[in-house]
């Protein structure tokens, strides 16, 4: 199995790098998106992560010269769907389970495939401007994770 991070401190570094806008842009990978989400869901349980994440990602994007537009940058439907999937995935583990190992397990699951959402949304619907701006319901099959 591929190891994405060598410990929980490395996962926390990713999340803190997004929060304080210091994570080098090349490190903002598919795995890093899930690592930040998992860390926030576990480390900040009193924070409404679904409400906080859009602002965090938009601010991080702006800090790394990635414009948030109708064709790039922040994507609301993908963010909320990914948070729902991450929360469900994290719920399978005890609070004492190492978070970096949860990331590895998640990335070895179907969620690790960057196109996993295309099981639920057609490409045109998922990558529409409407889906970037707001939550858009899937058009292929019901989404099984809470949003």
Question: Per-residue pLDDT tens for 125-137?
Answer: 999 999 999 999 9
| H helix runs in the chain, sequence order | 8-19, 30-43, 49-63, 76-90, 99-108, 123-126, 129-133
Question: Per-residue pLDDT tens for 45-61?
Answer: 767 888 999 999 999 99
Global pTM exceeds 0.85: yes
Structure confidence at residue 46 (pLDDT): 64
Q: Please identify every stretch of the chain with a pLDDT value under 70, giving residue numbers as ranges.
A: 46
The answer to whether 61 and 68 are in contact (CB under 8 A) is: yes
Structure confidence at residue 66 (pLDDT): 96
Hey, what are 144's tokens? Answer: 């099984």
């Amino acid at each position: 199995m591929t190891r994405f991070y060598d410990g929980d401190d490395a996962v926390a570094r990713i999340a803190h790098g997004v929060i304080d806008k210091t994570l080098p842009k090349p490190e903002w990978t598919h795995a890093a998106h899930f690592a930040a989400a998992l860390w926030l869901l576990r480390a900040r349980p009193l924070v409404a992560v679904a409400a906080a994440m859009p602002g965090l990602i938009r601010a991080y994007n702006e800090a790394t010269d990635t414009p948030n537009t109708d064709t790039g940058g922040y994507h609301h439907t993908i963010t909320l769907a990914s948070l729902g999937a991450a929360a469900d995935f994290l719920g399978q583990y005890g609070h004492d389970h190492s978070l970096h190992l949860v990331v590895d397990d998640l990335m070895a699951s179907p969620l690790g495939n960057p196109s996993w959402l295309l099981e639920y949304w057609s490409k045109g619907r998922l990558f529409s401007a409407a889906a970037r701006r707001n939550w858009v319901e899937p058009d292929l099959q019901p989404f099984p994770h809470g949003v």
